[in-house]
């Protein structure tokens, strides 16, 4: 019987707490709705290329798994270079970065371009870099073999490079092969042989999709 009286007391307490005006769902007028856009930060160190080797107008597009992205050289400010990183999807995300020789990002701007039109341009936060990313110690490499591949209907004469190393944690041997061509702008992991055409490792691959020298800015810089 004590249990029953406890349930009755709890019911009375809950009934008391539910007193007052009932909660209501209110429709917010469209003109009062606001969408907060999350702008990704960029790192202080530019990882893709040495900008002193680049020329305004150069661009290259790559496929990396499900991701497709474009790197485009769109302007200069003294010795610094404006480079846009464009994530190619239905709503394109464009990050314009002012990069100095040596790879330090001085300024970064961001906008989205949807089928309905471009968004406003906003500044991106630049996170401080502790230093260049650590790379595995290479056990050996081989470069210089000539290979011809087709990209976008064009035959590209390439040089191949292969390097391999042993994983510290598991003792396994890993390798990565790259193809470069002098016809491709060196906007992404370029070398003395030219711009990257293909990179393939045990875990992922990157393929050149298209390239050119007629890049135009998608983000107006200020």
pLDDT per position as a tens digit, 153-185: 899 999 999 988 787 777 788 889 999 999 999
Q: Which is nearest to 85 in space by CA: 180, 39, 77, 74?
A: 74
Rounded Cα distance, 56 and 73, in Å: 5
**Burial (0-12, 13-18, 19+ Cβ within 10 Å), 43:** middle
Provide the pLDDT for residue 135: 62
Angle among Cα 186, 197, 176 to the nearest 5 degrees reads 105
Provide the pLDDT for residue 152: 84
At 40-70, the pLDDT tens digits run: 899 999 989 999 999 999 999 999 999 999 9
Which tokens belong to 45?
């160190």
In this predicted structure, the answer to whether residue 1 has a pLDDT above a threshold of 60 is no
Instruction: Looking at mean pLDDT, say which of 8-17, 74-83, 160-169 comes out highest.
Output: 74-83
2 pLDDT band, cuts 50/70/90, is very low
37 pLDDT band, cuts 50/70/90, is low
Average pLDDT, the chain: 85
In this predicted structure, the answer to whether residue 92 has a pLDDT above a threshold of 50 is yes
Instruction: Looking at mean pLDDT, say which of 16-30, 39-53, 108-122, 123-137 comes out highest.
Output: 108-122
Provide the pLDDT for residue 213: 96
In percent, how much of the chain has pLDDT > 70? Answer: 80
Q: 92 and 72 in contact (C-beta within 8 Å)?
A: no
Provide the pLDDT for residue 50: 92
140 pLDDT band, cuts 50/70/90, is confident
């Amino acid at each position: 019987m004590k249990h029953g009286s406890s349930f009755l007391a709890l019911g009375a307490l809950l009934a008391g707490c539910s007193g007052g005006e009932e909660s209501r769902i209110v429709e917010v007028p469209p003109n009062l709705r606001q969408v907060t856009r999350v702008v990704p930060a960029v790192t202080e160190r530019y990882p893709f290329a040495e900008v002193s080797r680049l020329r305004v107008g150069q661009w290259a597009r790559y496929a990396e798994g499900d991701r497709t992205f474009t790197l485009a050289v769109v302007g200069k400010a003294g010795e610094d270079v404006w480079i846009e990183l464009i994530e190619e999807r239905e709503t394109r995300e464009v990050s314009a970065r002012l990069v100095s020789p040596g790879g330090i990002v001085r300024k970064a701007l961001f906008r989205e371009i949807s089928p309905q039109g471009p968004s406003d341009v906003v500044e991106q936060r630049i996170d401080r870099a502790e230093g260049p990313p650590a790379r595995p110690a290479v056990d050996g490499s081989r470069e210089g073999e000539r290979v011809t591949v087709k990209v976008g209907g064009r035959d590209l004469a390439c040089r191949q490079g292969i390097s391999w190393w042993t994983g510290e944690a598991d003792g396994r041997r890993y390798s990565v092969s790259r193809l470069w061509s002098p016809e491709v702008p060196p906007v992404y992991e370029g070398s003395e042989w030219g711009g990257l055409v293909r990179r393939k490792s045990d875990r992922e691959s990157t393929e050149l999709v298209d390239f050119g020298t007629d890049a135009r800015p998608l983000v107006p810089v200020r």
